[in-house]
Amino acid sequence: MVVLPVEVTAPHSPVQHPQDTTPAPLAPTAEPAAAPRGPATTSPTPPHPPTPPGGPLRRLLTPALALLLAASLLAAAHQARPTPYGDHITVYARVDVDSSDARPALRTTKDAVEAYDEATGRPRWSYAREGHRPLAVVPARGDAIALWDDGLVTATATDTALRDGGVVRWHRALPGAVPWLAAQGGSGVLRPLGSRMLAVVTPQRMAAYRIADGDLRWVLPAGRGCEFAPTRAVRHGTALLIAQPCPDDDGIDNWTAEIIAVDDLGRITPDRTPLGNERHTAEHPNAEKVVARPR
């Protein structure tokens, strides 16, 4: 019997031993090589910044300082606002209110009302209004009553605030008086009626104001076709006699009708009803205004 070599009988078959029953492993499928990875890393949590000294107190002070700054800005804005009516009072010399010569004399300058010492001529205080000039000033009940070129009447206290200069207590406007004032000036317009009332006379009307508070108490219009003449007036006792010429009377000379008599209660007539010209109080509950009818 002839034995042939293994290579001749199975040239293309792998050699398998009888005892090896495990199948041959399959060739792995080629895959792209993965990039090598290092060990996993995590971002460290940043440390908290150190708390500055006084941190809680500083957090409380910051809003407080902001509020103080805002209050300062508001106060500055309030101070920067224009004063009502453009009022400006300048004090030159402070005076003791108990002094016997505490009440100063009054005069008008080019642009201000001035209170001054009669003995020395030195000013004590001056009152000016931006863009306006005073036309006349009269003393009344310790006040300086002034008429201005824009038709405003003002009362400046000279007794109650002498240590700090005058204080403007009230302002009243005269309707339609500016053109006439520009042409004629303010002579005779301010007429005190005793110690309580002030008459303001313009060609169209006469009005009375309570000096204590500037309250309008009565109005007397001029007669039809007539005009009041502020410069033609005279005091007789408690009465003010003022001319009211009437050019439309066809040449009739009726001088008695062209003179009007008034006092602090209004036009003087035999049948008039007295007015309550005191301030409204429990003692004077019916302090009413009236409009006097032309006669």
Of residues 295 and 259, more confidently modeled: 259
- Distance in angstroms (rounded) separating the CA atoms of residues 208 and 190: 10
Pairing of strands 290-291, 216-221: parallel
Within a domain: residue 37? no
List 266's β-bridge partners, or say none: 263
165 lies in the same domain as 195: no
Q: 139-142 long-range contacts, Cβ below 8 Å, gap at least 24? A: 139/103, 139/106, 140/192, 140/195, 140/198, 140/211, 141/195, 141/196, 141/211, 141/212, 142/103
Spatial CA neighbour of 201 closest among 215, 214, 213, 187: 187
pLDDT, tens digit, 9 for 90 and up, residues 6-53 = 444 444 444 444 454 445 555 554 455 555 555 555 555 555 555 555
SS3 label, residue 255: coil
DSSP state of 53: T
Residue 117 inside a domain? The answer is yes
CA distance 246 to 293: 17
Q: Are residues 201 and 292 in the same domain?
A: yes
Can you give the pLDDT at residue 255? 66
Residues 163 and 249 in one domain: no
Least reliable range by pLDDT among 155-169, 186-200, 281-295: 281-295
Among 128, 158, 184, give the residue marking a domain's end.
184
Quick one: which of 143, 163, 141, 140 has its CA closest to 91? 163
Instruction: Give the model's confidence band at 5: pLDDT under 50 very low, under 70 low, under 90 confident, else very high.
Output: very low
pTM over 0.85: no
Q: Which of 142, 163, 184 is the last residue of a domain?
A: 184
Tell me, yes or no, whether 112 lies in a domain.
Answer: yes
pLDDT at 66: 76
291 with 229, same domain? yes
Tens digits of residue pLDDT in 204-235: 999 999 999 999 999 999 998 899 999 999 99
Structural domain span for residue 123: 84-184
Q: In this structure, are 150 and 230 located in the same domain? A: no
Are 172 and 198 in the same domain? no
Do both 217 and 279 map to the same domain? yes
The span from the CA of 207 to the CA of 266, in Å, is: 9
Beta bridge partners of 205: 221
Q: What is the count of structural domains for the chain? A: 2
Q: Does residue 167 lie within any of the structural domains?
A: yes
Name, in order, each residue with C-beta under 8 angstroms of 137's C-beta and a sequence gap of 6 or more: 106, 107, 108, 113, 144, 145, 146, 147, 190
- The Cα 101–Cα 108 span in angstroms is 20
7 domain-assigned:
no
Instruction: Give 103-145 pLDDT, tens digit per residue.
Output: 789 999 999 999 888 888 888 889 999 999 999 999 988 889 9
Look at residue 144 and tell me if it is in a domain. yes
Two structure tokens written together for 9: 């009988």
Quick one: 292 and 196 in the same domain? yes
User: Per residue in 141-158, pLDDT tens?
Assistant: 888 999 999 999 999 987
Between 103 and 174, the more confident residue is 174
The answer to whether residue 98 sits within a structural domain is yes
Domain-ending residue, one of 184, 201, 232: 184
Report the distance separating Cα 178 and Cα 221, nearest Å: 18
User: Is 293 a member of any domain?
Assistant: yes
pLDDT of residue 202: 96
Same domain membership, residue 230 and residue 140: no
Nearest Cα residue to 197 out of 181, 180, 216, 169: 216
Query: pLDDT tens, 241-286?
Result: 999 998 766 655 666 678 999 999 999 988 776 655 555 555 444 4
Cα-only R_g, the chain: 50
pLDDT of residue 287: 47
Give yes or no: residues 221 and 251 share one domain: yes
Which pLDDT score, from 0 to 100, does residue 171 have? 96
Q: Which of 206, 180, 178 is nearest to 191 (CA)?
A: 206
DSSP state of 76: H
**At 171, which CATH number?**
2.40.10.480
Pair 149, 225 in one domain: no
At residue 171, what is the residue type? H
Q: What is the pLDDT of residues 64-112, one digit of tens each?
A: 777 777 777 666 554 544 567 899 988 887 665 555 456 789 999 999 9
Residues 126, 199 within the same domain: no
